Amino acid sequence: MQTVEYSLGELAARFGLELRGDPDLRVQRVATLHHAAPGGISFFANARYRKHLEATQATAVVLAAEHAALCPAAALIDPNPYLAYARIAGVLHPTAVSPPGIHDSAVVGASARIAASASVGPQAVIEDGVDIGERVFVGPGCILQQGARIGADTRLTARVTVCRNVEVGERCILHPGVVIGADGFGFALDGARGWVKVPQMGAVRIGNDVEIGANTTVDCGAIEDTVIENGVKLDNQIQIGHNVSIGEHTAIASCTGISGSTSIGKRCMIGGLVGMAGHLTIADDVVITGFSMISASLKRPGSYSSGIPAEETKQWWRRVAQFRRLGARKE
């Protein structure tokens, strides 16, 4: 990732921030409060780091107005310091632009359509009927199966697999190892003869501005499509089952598993290691804390939790004994 340099005055004007300090001071990189050096910019949004703020060597700090008096550096004032910092980090450390063209070792089907401005990396495989839009980056080792469509300015970083007829929107980022459109877990039991595979005939439709973390998998639909709407953010190692739908701007943390045909609303925030049963409905604006088990639909906005925090083993076994006694009394 390349870096560039901006003056504090330029950053303040670009992002509508109040500047308290010299507008001609320049920054080239982001850094933590604790390890920042001159030329670095950091942010303060958590009172636990007050001692690091007061001792920081950063050239500038992004923070809320009520904390500006604590800052020994130039201050860029915004009521949401982390959001302002994210925008500044994006311009100081922009993603490198890949030169257009197709690497000699890539394998490209005769009927594939690849925009002249796109970049296809070494050992990528582009099958027949694939459509790759303007300025798309297809990294090394990626596989795009027949009929896949990739929207403009999307990046498939490396070893990404996009299966048959999957649609990926514009400005998406798919990190290494992502698999989109593999078969869902569909089997019918034939008594003692075992399991009969149910053909998975649907695809996956991914909207614009979606980011999917490393080694996350999104299964194709059984009949209709699995749908990930605009602005969704998925962390690493998430499993999305077949025919799941995820509403706009929902964010899901790592190692969460969502069973088939569950519908998740807009603007939800789902913590790590959450498990969801299938065929559920999660309302808009729901927050689910980490390690929760969701076995019934959540029909109203709000925050939901389950699971018991860790404690000393002896105390935990006392709790288990109490649970068992409660059950025994009811019987």
pLDDT in tens, 169-205: 999 999 999 999 999 999 999 999 999 999 999 999 9
Q: 96 falls in which pLDDT band (50, 70, 90)?
A: confident
pLDDT of residue 4: 87
Q: Please provide the average confidence, as pLDDT, over all residues in the chain.
A: 96
Residue 83 sits in the same domain as residue 191 = no
| Residue 309 covered by a domain | no
Separation CA 243–CA 218 (nearest Å): 10
Residue 183 sits in the same domain as residue 270 = yes
Q: Give yes or no: 242 in active site.
A: yes
Confirm if 63 and 19 have CB atoms less than 8 A apart.
no
Q: What CATH number does the domain containing 252 carry?
A: 2.160.10.10
| Residue 106 covered by a domain | no
| Residue 313 covered by a domain | no
Confirm if 166 and 220 have CB atoms less than 8 A apart.
yes
Confirm if 269 and 287 have CB atoms less than 8 A apart.
yes
The mean pLDDT value for 212-217 works out to 98
Q: 307 falls in which pLDDT band (50, 70, 90)?
A: confident
Nearest-CA neighbor of 160 among 232, 89, 210, 229? 210
Residue 61 sits in the same domain as residue 167 = no
| Residue 146 covered by a domain | no
| Residue 18 covered by a domain | yes
Separation CA 133–CA 129 (nearest Å): 13
Q: Which range of residues forms the domain containing residue 87?
A: 6-92
DSSP 100: P
Q: 224 falls in which pLDDT band (50, 70, 90)?
A: very high
Terminal C-alpha separation, the chain: 63
**Residue 286 has which token pair?**
């729901």
Residue 195 sits in the same domain as residue 295 = yes
pLDDT in tens, 262-279: 999 999 999 999 999 999
Q: What CATH number does the domain containing 78 carry?
A: 3.40.1390.10
The count of other CB atoms within 10 Å of the CB of residue 163 is 22
Q: For residue 50, is pLDDT > 80?
A: yes
**Of 42, 66, 92, which residue constitutes the final position of a domain?**
92
Q: Which of 52, 242, 249, 279 is catalytic?
A: 242
Residue 168 sits in the same domain as residue 296 = yes
Mention every residue, 6+ apart, whose C-beta is less than 8 A from residue 228.
Answer: 204, 205, 206, 207, 210, 218, 234, 240, 245, 246
Separation CA 78–CA 149 (nearest Å): 40
The mean pLDDT value for 228-240 works out to 98
Residue 64 sits in the same domain as residue 172 = no
pLDDT of residue 13: 98
The number of distinct structural domains making up the chain is 2
Q: 324 falls in which pLDDT band (50, 70, 90)?
A: confident
pLDDT of residue 308: 83
| Residue 205 covered by a domain | yes
The DSSP secondary structure of 277-302, one letter per residue, reads -SS-EE-TTEEE-TT-EE-S-B-SSE
b vs e for 171-195, b when ≥16 Cβ sit within 10 Å of the residue's Cβ?
bbbbbbbbbbbbebebeeeeeeeee
**Of 36, 60, 92, which residue constitutes the final position of a domain?**
92
| Residue 324 covered by a domain | no
Four-point Cα dihedral 244, 249, 253, 258, nearest 10: -10
| Residue 262 covered by a domain | yes
Q: 327 falls in which pLDDT band (50, 70, 90)?
A: low
In terms of pTM, does the model score above 0.75?
Answer: yes
Lowest mean pLDDT among 59-68, 95-104, 176-185: 95-104
The mean pLDDT value for 251-266 works out to 98
**Of 92, 108, 130, which residue constitutes the final position of a domain?**
92
